[in-house]
């Protein structure tokens, strides 16, 4: 492709993740120098023990003959090395479609036009989000949570986990049908996202169970946020879908459990389990309420979680 056609298509460099928890994520290479590594300050952060803190660098340079930009990748004396198309390199000019291996991560270097960029974002969204609600999938939620936990440890920050379960949701499906049930799950997701701050993340864990993590939040702030979600759901007029009949609404409630990093735990999976224990206590104590893991008795905290019912 000649220079004029490239400019006309507005081709821009990007890295596409082909493996790992960032599968299909397009990372635009917008800066003149982009650092790949495990450090919190890395431009493309790769959370893998085999990746050095500053592992590799991609620089935009000018081809002296054509005057067009080229993209040079350099290994920064990493422990495990940087591979391009399966070969270890010290310095290499990247070509469109080259595959880069850094630790356990595999990435593809691509020159994307606007249509390509939109397509990659769509693919990522389909892979990482729940079809019905548009919230993160449980897998994507755990990926984001692991990254945030690592960052919180390095930067001494706090956050909270919320686990949420709709009360008596089986009754909604039995009474009004699954079309209404599906619509109500969309509306609950709306209530959650409208209440959360920008930067917080929410997910649907399947069925009528939801989760969220709140960045830079102490336990007290997490409880306040959970109470706002509970009140928003309680006061919302949920749709009833009945063909050939005028619009109707009904009420739904939700129960929530809260756990805090680092006071409750520094392990992301354990934090989710703790918030789930608090959620079970909220269900057991009457539903439509918020319970914090710190409020559980020692006996409550040790109890195994039975299957939850509506």
DSSP class of 18: -
The pairs formed by 218-224 with CB atoms below 8 angstroms and a separation of 24 or more are 218/158, 218/160, 218/260, 219/160, 219/258, 219/260, 219/263, 219/292, 219/294, 221/160, 222/160, 222/161, 222/162, 222/258, 222/260, 222/292, 223/258, 223/290, 223/292
Q: How far is CA 287 from CA 2, 254, 303, 309, in A?
A: 65, 7, 19, 11
Burial, 149: exposed, middle or buried (Cβ in 10 Å; 0-12, 13-18, 19+)?
buried
**Residue 56: closest CA among 20, 104, 89:** 89
Query: What phi, psi does 109 have (nearest 5°)?
Result: -85, 130
- CA distance linking residue 183 with residue 76, whole number of Å: 52
Whether the Cβ atoms of residue 260 and residue 160 lie closer than 8 Å to each other: yes
Whether the Cβ atoms of residue 164 and residue 211 lie closer than 8 Å to each other: yes
- CA distance linking residue 282 with residue 293, whole number of Å: 10
Beta bridge partners of 35: 57
Catalytic-labelled residue, pool 62, 187, 208, 248: 208
Tell me, yes or no, if 208 is annotated catalytic.
yes
- Tell me the catalytic residues: 208
């Amino acid at each position: 492709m000649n220079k004029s056609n490239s400019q006309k298509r507005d081709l821009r460099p990007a890295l596409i993740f082909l493996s790992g928890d960032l599968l299909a994520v397009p990372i635009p290479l917008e800066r003149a120098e982009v650092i790949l590594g495990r450090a919190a300050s890395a431009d493309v952060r790769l959370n893998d023990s085999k990746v050095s803190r500053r592992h590799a660098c991609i620089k935009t340079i000018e081809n002296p003959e054509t005057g067009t930009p080229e993209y040079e990748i350099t290994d920064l004396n990493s422990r495990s090395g940087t591979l391009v198309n399966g070969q270890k390199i010290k310095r290499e000019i990247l070509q469109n479609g080259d595959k880069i291996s850094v630790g356990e991560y595999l990435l593809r270097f691509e020159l994307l036009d606007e249509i390509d960029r939109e397509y990659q974002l769509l693919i990522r969204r389909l892979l990482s989000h729940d079809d019905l609600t548009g919230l993160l999938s449980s897998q994507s939620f755990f990926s984001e949570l692991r990254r945030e936990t690592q960052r919180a440890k390095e930067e001494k920050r706090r956050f909270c986990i919320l686990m949420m379960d709709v009360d008596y949701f089986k009754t909604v499906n039995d009474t009004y049908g699954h079309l209404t049930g599906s619509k109500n799950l969309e509306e609950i997701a709306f209530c959650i996202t409208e209440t959360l701050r920008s930067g917080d993340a929410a997910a649907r864990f399947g069925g009528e169970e939801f989760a969220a993590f709140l960045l830079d939040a102490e336990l007290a702030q997490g409880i306040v946020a959970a109470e706002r979600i509970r009140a928003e759901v309680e006061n919302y007029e949920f749709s009833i879908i009945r063909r050939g009949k005028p619009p109707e609404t009904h009420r739904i409630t939700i129960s929530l459990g809260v756990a805090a990093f680092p006071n409750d735990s520094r392990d992301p999976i354990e934090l989710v389990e703790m918030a789930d224990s608090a959620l079970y206590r909220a269900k057991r104590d009457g539903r439509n309420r918020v319970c914090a893991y710190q409020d559980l008795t020692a006996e409550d905290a040790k109890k195994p979680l039975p299957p939850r019912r509506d």
